[in-house]
Structure 1
Amino acid sequence: MERDEQMDEARHGTFRPLARHIPLAVIAAAAIIGFFTLGDLLSFETLRAHRETLIAFRDANFTGLALAFIGIYVVIVAFSLPGAAVASVTGGFLFGLALGTLFNVLAASIGAIAIFLAARWGLGRVLAERIETSEGTLKKIKAGLHENEVSVLFLMRLVPVVPFFVANLLPALVGVRFVNFALTTVLGIIPGALVFTWIGVGLGEVFDRGESPDLSLLWEPQVIGPILGLCVLAALPILIKHMKGRKNA
Structure 2
Amino acid sequence: MRRWLPLVVILSGAVIGAVFLRDYLSFDTLRDNREALIAYRAAHPLLMPAVFITAYVLIVAFSLPGALVASLTGGFLFGVFPGVAYNVVAATLGSLAIFLAVRIGLGEGLKARIDASDGRVRQLSEGIRANEISVLLIMRLVPVVPFFIANLIPAVLGVATWRFVWTTGLGIIPAGLVYTWIGAGLGEVFARGEAPDLGIIFEPYILGPLLGLAALALLPVVIKRFQRA
TM-score, scaled to structure 1: 0.88
**Where do residues 178-189 of structure 1 align in structure 2 (5 Å cutoff)?**
178-189=161-172
Q: Distance in 1 between matches of 2:6 and 2:40?
A: 34
State the Cα deviation string for residues 188-242 of structure 1 (Å, max 9, x = none): 0000110000000110110111111110111111111110100111111112212
Give 1:62's aligned residue. 45
Conservation of the 8 A alpha-carbon contact between 2:72 and 2:179: yes
**2:110 equivalent among 113, 119, 127:** 127
Q: Deviations over 1:136-186 (max 9, x none)?
A: 544433332221000000011011110111101111012112221111101
In the TM superposition, residue 98 of structure 1 has moved relative to its aligned partner by 1.1
Q: Whole-Å Cα distance in 2 between the matches of residues 125 and 78 of structure 1?
A: 20
Residue 96 of structure 2 is aligned to residue 113 of structure 1: yes
Task: Say which of 193, 196, 202 aligns to 2:176.
Answer: 193
User: Where do 5+ consecutive residues of structure 1 fail to align?
Assistant: 1-17
Are 1:49 and 2:32 an aligned pair?
yes
Identify which of 241, 245, 249 aligns with 2:224: 241
Matches within 5 A, 1:76-225: 76-135=59-118, 137-225=120-208
Mapping for residues 20-35 of structure 1, pairs under 5 Å: 20-35=3-18
Bigger mean CA deviation after superposition, 57-66 or 21-30: 21-30
Secondary structure of the corresponding residue to residue 173 of structure 1:
helix
2:160 aligned partner, one-letter code: R
Mapped partners of 2:75, 2:22: distance in 1: 21
Distance 1:190 1:99 in 2: 13
Superposition CA RMSD, Å = 1.4
Cα distance in 2 between the residues matched to 1:136 and 1:166: 22
Q: Residue 244 of structure 1: CA displacement?
A: 2.2
Contact 2:129–2:157 (8 Å) recurs in 1: no
**Higher CA-based Rg:** 1
* Residue in structure 2 matched with residue 5 of structure 1 by the alignment: none
Report % sequence identity.
56
In structure 1, the residue corresponding to 2:79 is in which secondary structure? helix
* 3-state SS of 1:207 partner: helix
TM-score, length of structure 2 as denominator length = 0.95
Counterpart residue identity of residue 57, structure 2: V
Q: Report the more deviating stretch, 134-143 or 33-42.
A: 134-143
| Runs of 5+ unmatched residues, structure 2 | none
Secondary structure of the residue aligned to 1:19 is coil
Q: Does 1:230 align with 2:213?
A: yes
Q: Deviations over 1:23-52 (max 9, x none)?
A: 112212221222222221011111111111
